[in-house]
Structure formats: C-alpha cells, structure tokens
Amino acid sequence: MPIDSPSTTIDDDSNQTAPELPPLPGDLRDRLARCQSLPSLPAAAARVLDLARTQEPRLADFARAIEQDPALTLRLLSLANSAFYARNGLQVTTCTAAVSRIGLDATLAAAMSFGLPRPGARHILDYDYLWQRAIIAALAGQYLAQRLSPEHAGRVFTTALVQDIGIMALEAVDGDAYCHGIPGLRDHGALIRAERERFGCDHALVGAWLAASWGVPDHLAQGIADSHGPLEDHDISRLCLRLSCRIAEAWLAPEPARAISDLLHQLASLDTLEPNLLTGVLQQLQERLPSTARLFEITCPPNIDAITLLTEAKQLLFEQNLRISRHLAEQQTKLEALNASHVALDKQTRTDSLTGLANRSWLEKLLEVHFDIAKANQQPLSVMFIDLDHFKRINDAHGHRFGDRALIHFAGTLKRMVRGSDIAGRYGGEEFLVIMPQTRRHQAYVLADRVRQQLSKGPLAHAGGKPVHVTASIGIAALEDDEFANVEALVDAADEAMYVIKRGGRDGVGLFHD
C-alpha cells in the first residue's frame, strides 16, 4: 500500500506467515533480553501495533489509540498536512482524518519512529546521521516501490525507516565498547563486518529481533533481517529496501557523485532495474527531504541538486569505464605477448633443433592422432622410415659439423618433397620418419623412391669442393589391412622393412610384407 493512498489495512499480504528469523547468537540474545535500556515503543505506538495485528483493524480504533498521545497526534496531523499528503490543500484537524489520509503504513511508521531515540547529547553515536539515513532510505525505498511494486510501497517505507534500529539496540547493550569497536556509521559494509566479528551477527538481525519483540507484523521484522542482502534479488520489495539504504549512504557520502557513480556501476548489471529510475529517486529526495526532515524533527540532510549529482556521477562512471577498458586493452596485449611466447615455446618443444622438422615425441603424438582417425574412418595411412646409409663414415671423414650440415640439407630436401598433408620428422640421429595420412602403400612407395633417387642424383653436400653423396635405406608400412594394433607396431613394421633393405645392400625402398 503506498504511503499516500489511505487504507484500513497495513499491507495486502501482511497476514501471510513470514519465514522464521534466523536465531541470534546465544550470548547476545541473553544480553539483549537482560538489557534495560533497549529502545522501546511509546504506549500509543504499542497499541497501534496491537491493532495492526487484529484481523480487521478499524480506522477509528487507530485514531483513538493515537489520540491518547498528544505528541504523536500532533506528529500525525503535521504529516497529513505536509505538502506531500495535502495535495488538495485542505487541512485535516482530526486524528481519524489524518490516519485516513496518510494510510496505516505511514501511521505505523510515524508511531514506531516516535518511540526511537532522537539525536542528543546522551549518545556517542551520530544519531543525526542515523536519522538522516533513515528518512532518505524511507523516501528512496518508497519511490522505488511505487514504481516497481506499488502494493508494497508502504511496507518498504516503514521497513526502510526502522531498518537500523539494531544499531541503537547494540549501542544500548554494549555501550562505549560498541561505539569504539566499530569503524563509524558511514561505511555500512565495514560496520557490518565489524559487528559480525564482534557479535557473530550484524545489526539487521538484532533490529529484526527487537522489532519482533515489539510485536510488529512478521513481514516487517523479516524485512529488517533481510536488509543487508545483495542487490541481485528478484523479489522487488527486498530489492527496493536494499537499494534504499545504498542510496542513503551515497547521498550522505563525503563525495556523493563518486558514491552514486559506484552505485550506477552496480546497477548496470541488474536486469530488474531501469537505470532511469535512479534519476527519479534523486529528484524525489531533493524535493521531499526538507519537509520530511522537519516532520521527524531532525537536521535536514545536505541539499543536493539531483541533476548535477547524476551528471557528475555519470561522468565519473564514464571515466572509470574508460580506465577499465584501457586496462583491459593493456592486459589483452600482455596476454597476446604471453601467448605468442607460449606458442614459440611450444614450437620449440615440438621441433628438432638441428633440422627444424618435427621431433620424435611430436611425431609420435601426431601419429597417434592420424592412426586413430584412419582406423575410425577406415582410411589408408602409411609411414616411411628413412635411415641414411653409412653416415658414420661421413662424420668420420669430414667431421661432425659437416655431418650436421648434411642432415640439415637432407631435412630441407625431404620437407620440400612431401605433400602438405604429410608430416616429415627426425626420428633420431640419421633416421627420419614421414607420416602420410590417406596414402596407400604403393603411393608411399612412389614418394620413397623419389627421395632415394633425389639422393642418388646429386650430392648432399660438398667437402673441399668435392661432392659428397649419401644414400638412404627406406622402409614403408601401411595401415590398409587393419593388421596393426597400435602405432608402435606400425612404426616397427616400417623399421623392419628398412632393415631388410639395409641387409640387402642399402640404397633402396622396401615395403613391409614384400
């Protein structure tokens, strides 16, 4: 029920059973129960609450209960005659008319807040700040709820107004120790953390316990207990309440524009809220805070121009986003550089450092993959095992470095001769392996013989101006008849075919099986 629409019920669903409140830590509950100076309700407010709990409360009964307390009556009359409620300009003079005009939720809120401790010398805590926070949250929450869930606007107003009564209770129970043990009231997040560390729970739960002990409707106590939850909540009245205290904190922050910009940033990720809603809330606060502060007899919170505040906040948010995207771009560049070095590193671990061909472990990994593919798709796959002949003699005759150059030269020749889909690698020493996917043994044979002929055609290198010829023994095995259980068997077969050639006099190509 919105605060400005009179009704004789507190809230449409106020009689629904709310979930039970989480229990207070045992020792704190005992201390609260023993404490003589907890905030209490004036008798008139207690009677208003009693009436609110009855099945069908009547307007006249409320008015009679309030009339018992002249100060509360005066407060209600001024509320009903304030600019917000007296839109038609007519003044009300009786309690019944006042209750009828402002609605029962606002009546309840006024009655409850009337009994709460006021700013004064007795308190160490900044009660001015607490009260300012309370009325800003109440107005903000009410505005939000009127737009998002009008039937809950009254409830949100009342709950937001009294959501921090737990702070008053903790001050009463723990005195100076509490006031000096907390980091102040202005950073609510830090306050909550300090309370949880000190008492095992925060003031929201204590406030809910206190409100329940006054006999408030269950939903009100539950609302107080829920008030510190995250903004990501699809329950609209909870969201309005939680957002209301964040708005209050931002309005009262030393740098409101920065605080609102942080809030805008948080709201950007919520799909439940339209960003423009915040503009309306801030304008509403600017308009209504002075009169509401007068009604509650507290110092008026700073008068901030809503439009300027939002413009500054959006500018700060824009600058912050710009900083974030610059930072992201820098991170991205770093990541790319890291990836590039990783790729380079990875390439190093895959290639043979002398020839630049695939090394043995990479060859084996690739062969595993091609072997599985060929088996699964019943495709041919051939491997060629090449062993250069009498290589020891080359090294012995011309030196190891010359041998190295010969190996590099052969690797280059081999790479140029194989197809793009083939993989040529150095298996070890003067041994090379070529993997030929989708290649039948007779096709592999043609390539192998071409390699052999290429070696015999021209010298592999020159030593002292003289050509140095190298021949090769080549063995081929093919996965055509499904006879090889694994890659090792296939490579062994090619190796065996190569050895047949070696034993037969070298410089030739042999097929496994032949």
Ligand X SMILES: Nc1nc2c(ncn2[C@@H]2O[C@H](COP(=O)(O)OP(=O)(O)OP(=O)(O)O)[C@@H](O)[C@H]2O)c(=O)[nH]1
Give the interface with ligand X as residue ranges (CB under 6 A): 354, 387-392, 395, 400, 403-404, 407, 429-430, 502, 506
Least Å distance, CB 389 to ligand X, is: 4
Least Å distance, CB 393 to ligand X, is: 6
Q: Which residue is nearest to ligand X (CB)?
A: 403
H or E stretch at 258: helix 256-268
Return the sign of the alpha-carbon dihedral for residues 168, 173, 175, 179: negative
H or E stretch at 236: helix 236-251
Structure tokens at 187: 């950073």
Give 202 or 387: the residue with its C-beta nearer to ligand X: 387
Give 200 or 467: the residue with its C-beta nearer to ligand X: 467
Least Å distance, CB 429 to ligand X, is: 3
Give 387 or 422: the residue with its C-beta nearer to ligand X: 387
Interior/surface letters 352-373, b for 16+ CB within 10 angstroms, e for the rest: beebebbbeebbbebbeebbee
Query: The tokens 């007899």 sit on which residue?
Result: 297
Give 61 or 430: the residue with its C-beta nearer to ligand X: 430
Q: Are 1 and 43 in contact (CB under 8 A)?
A: no
Least Å distance, CB 448 to ligand X, is: 16
Cα dihedral: 243, 248, 250, 252 (round 10): -170
Least Å distance, CB 469 to ligand X, is: 13
Least Å distance, CB 455 to ligand X, is: 13
Nearest to 226 by CA among 247, 248, 244, 199: 244
Least Å distance, CB 410 to ligand X, is: 11
H or E stretch at 16: none
Please list the residues that pair with 509 across neighbouring strands. Answer: 474
Phi-psi region for residue 5, left (φ > 0), alpha (ψ -120 to 50) or beta?
beta
Q: Please, what is the angle between helix 70-80 and helix 277-295, to 10°? A: 140
SS3 label, residue 330: helix
Give 100 or 355: the residue with its C-beta nearer to ligand X: 355
Q: What is the 3-state secondary structure (H, E, C) of 79-137?
A: HHCCCCCCCCCCCCCCHHHHHHHHCHHHHHHHHHHHCCCCCCCCCCCCHHHHHHHHHHH
Give 492 or 507: the residue with its C-beta nearer to ligand X: 507
Least Å distance, CB 402 to ligand X, is: 7
Give 33 or 354: the residue with its C-beta nearer to ligand X: 354
* Burial of residue 119, with CB atoms counted within 10 A of its CB: 0-12 exposed, 13-18 middle, 19 or more buried: middle
Least Å distance, CB 405 to ligand X, is: 8
Give 186 or 502: the residue with its C-beta nearer to ligand X: 502
Give 327 or 392: the residue with its C-beta nearer to ligand X: 392
